[in-house]
Amino acid sequence: MTIQSPDRRRRLRRALALGLVLTTTTATLTSTSATAGPPRHGAPDLGPNVTIFDPGMPVGEIQATLDAAHARQVDNEMGTARHAYLFMPGTYGTAEQPLQIKVGYYTEISGLGASPTDVTINGKVEVYNRCLQDGGTANCLALVNFWRTLSNLSININAAGQDGCRSSANFWAVSQAVSMRRLNVSGGNLSLMDYCTAGPQYASGGFIADSRLPSVTNGSQQQWLTRNSEVAGWSNAVWNQVFAGTVGAPDDSGFPDPPYTTRATTPLSREKPYLFVDAKGEYQVRVPAAQRDSRGISWGTQMTPGRTIPIRDFFVAKPSDPVHVINSQLARGKHLLFTPGVYDIARSIQVRRADTVVLGIGHATLTAVNGAIPLQVADVPGVVVAGVTIDAGLEESPVLLRVGSRHGRNAGTPQNPTTLSDVYFRVGGPHIGRTNIALEVNSDHVLIDHTWVWRGDHGVEGFTEGVNGDTDRWRTNTGRYGAVINGDHVTATGLFVEHFQRYNTVWNGEHGTTILYQNELPYDPPTQADWMNGEVEGWAGYKVGDHVKHHTLYGGGVYVFNQNNPSIHTENGFEVPETPGVKLHHIMTVNLSAGIIDHVVNGVGAAADTTRIGAPVYVKQYPTP
């Protein structure tokens, strides 16, 4: 295997420098699955890229199908293939013949039960380090293990047949845009790093919600959010490990050693909708209800509270469906289910009806064409958008997802917030992308539950390689703002925003709350002049508007790696108004080996410079009590 571009070499060198230790082009999609084809078990037609297993199938047949899928996807980081592998209720694998699943790019593994306990995998579901050749040396790490989903099933860990190291845990070595939801894991340990491969073994995730877990090894994970779950134990931390509403979470009184941030409850939560098959064999979508000040799993003693929508009330979209057909179905009152694939969107998909559910499976991807806004949600409450990736296209879009037409219409309600779950954004990566803003939230009472908003720092965009490669990316792959939050009472649980060319996040609304924020400033400003905010050197990674009176952040990190010009300065990682109602808890900056952040927040905190590579500068609370 060879590395595809010098950009990846630079990312690897950046990883090696950290020295962490433990303390637009869319392809026509065709079926590649041996069991895909006509609908099974009375299922709706979910397209050729959805495979449904039932417990009567031979374990060897299921294993062969999933092994082939992993072989195709393990290195397909910038490809167009999208797949979902769904398991009917029942048990898969035996003590003697466990089912050992490895999950590659753009792959969803999910159970079709009403509860996670309805589908049991005797075996393992894993992601290992991706091993790349750099100058003839294998570098094995998880820093680019993106875009995969695991949900709604039980894993009885059985490592029969695996070697000594591999038998020691169920490995989930991932980074951004990867979610674990509604899991019931038992019989062994869960490791969020892969310590069985040679190499630096770094990882940069991640997100778990609504799951019952055994002892968890955080390992080399730079940051992680565990929300509304149960853990038997949690070992070690690196920079920014956050827990909200999690039974068994570690105490955070010793912050920053270890760097834990723990909230007993989650102020606002809503679990992601999920597809399931009921006792009559009918396909349904369960839409969980919003919860306030919640703690623990939603499914322990009863079905997750919420509403059930029959699949017949959804328009099941394929990549070949034109937008005017999708909008017509939405206007008729249908909900929307995107099957796996890449959708060219040359005019906006318009969600105008309250309580509409837009659910993607298999990492369905909407790509802007001709500067379109791929998805717009009107000034209505209770809309749920989940499991969708939105890509910028060659012509600049004003925004990629807009929620609410403008601030002040008060579309949301406290009891029924519009919710975005596992909604991911890309500006560049697989192709050149351009947008002014990726995510714009204008409505009040919106919940953002896990998002990765990414302006690509590497990829196969066709930029000029060599000396001017990074300069070309700065001029060509353009994204000014990652997330712009104008609505009031907006909550974000797991907000990951990276590499935008001005403010990565701008929060203008009142009474906003963020629980875990992760940011890398852009790698590629060519000069300091290109990275100036008026007279100020650089743009903060997290900006709260000057007029805001109330805002709260728990657990935030801003990282710097100015690889194109290591002399560049950024004055502050965080910039907020000086007022008692704006409070930041457990924040930090860190240098990844190039560039300088002069202060953590508002001139407070030491410089994150190259004298302290990989060693965070922490501020426990701002303003100081």
Question: Quick one: CA torsion of 313, 319, 323, 326, rounded to 10 degrees?
Answer: 0
Answer yes or no: is 526 within a domain.
no
Q: ∠ CA(317), CA(323), CA(324), 5° rounding? A: 115
Answer yes or no: is 139 within a domain.
yes
The strand pairing partners of 221, in sequence order, are: 203
pTM of the model: 0.93
Radius of gyration of the chain (CA): 22
pLDDT of residue 23: 33
CA dihedral over 474, 477, 482, 486, signed as positive or negative: positive
* Mean pLDDT of successive 10-residue stretches along the chain, which has 625 residues: 35 40 31 40 86 97 98 96 98 97 98 98 97 73 97 97 94 98 97 92 95 97 98 97 98 97 98 97 97 98 96 98 98 98 98 98 98 97 98 98 83 90 97 97 97 94 47 90 97 98 98 98 97 98 98 98 96 98 98 98 98 97 93
Answer yes or no: is 68 within a domain.
yes
Annotated catalytic residue within 77, 108, 230, 520: 520
Distance from chain centroid for Cα 321: 26
CA distance 384 to 375: 12
Number of domains in the chain: 1
Write out the residue range of the structural domain in which residue 212 sits.
6-265
Answer yes or no: is 47 within a domain.
yes
Number of residues written out for the chain: 625
pLDDT of residue 537: 98
> What six digits make up the tokens of 490?
């907006």
pLDDT of residue 17: 37
Local structure of 388: helix, strand or coil: strand
- Terminal Cα distance for the chain, rounded: 54
The DSSP 8-state label assigned to residue 311 in this structure reads G
Contact residues for 303 (Cβ-Cβ < 8 A; gap 6+): 114, 115, 286
Q: ∠ CA(574), CA(579), CA(585), 5° rounding? A: 50
Answer yes or no: is 486 within a domain.
no
Which of 285, 268, 288 is CA-nearest to residue 276?
Answer: 285
The strand pairing partners of 554, in sequence order, are: 515, 585
Contact call for residues 556 and 542 (beta carbons, < 8 A): yes
HSE-up (13 A, CA, CB side) for residue 221: 34
Contact residues for 423 (Cβ-Cβ < 8 A; gap 6+): 385, 386, 387, 388, 389, 390, 401, 439, 448, 451
Answer yes or no: is 622 within a domain.
no
Residue 575 falls in the annotated catalytic set: no
pLDDT of residue 406: 79
Contact residues for 103 (Cβ-Cβ < 8 A; gap 6+): 70, 109, 125, 126, 127, 148, 150
pLDDT of residue 84: 98
CA distance 164 to 325: 54
CA distance 613 to 590: 7
Write the single-letter amino acid at 29.
L
pLDDT of residue 134: 66
Local structure of 140: helix, strand or coil: strand
Contact call for residues 105 and 176 (beta carbons, < 8 A): no
> What six digits make up the tokens of 60?
């060897």
Could you give the C-alpha distances from 617 to 525, 532, 558, in angstroms and in order?
23, 23, 10
CA distance 605 to 274: 43
Answer yes or no: is 468 within a domain.
no
DSSP string, 448-500: EEEEEEEE-SSS-S-PPPSTTHHHHHHHHSEEEEEEEE-SSS-EEEEEEEE--
Answer yes or no: is 248 within a domain.
yes
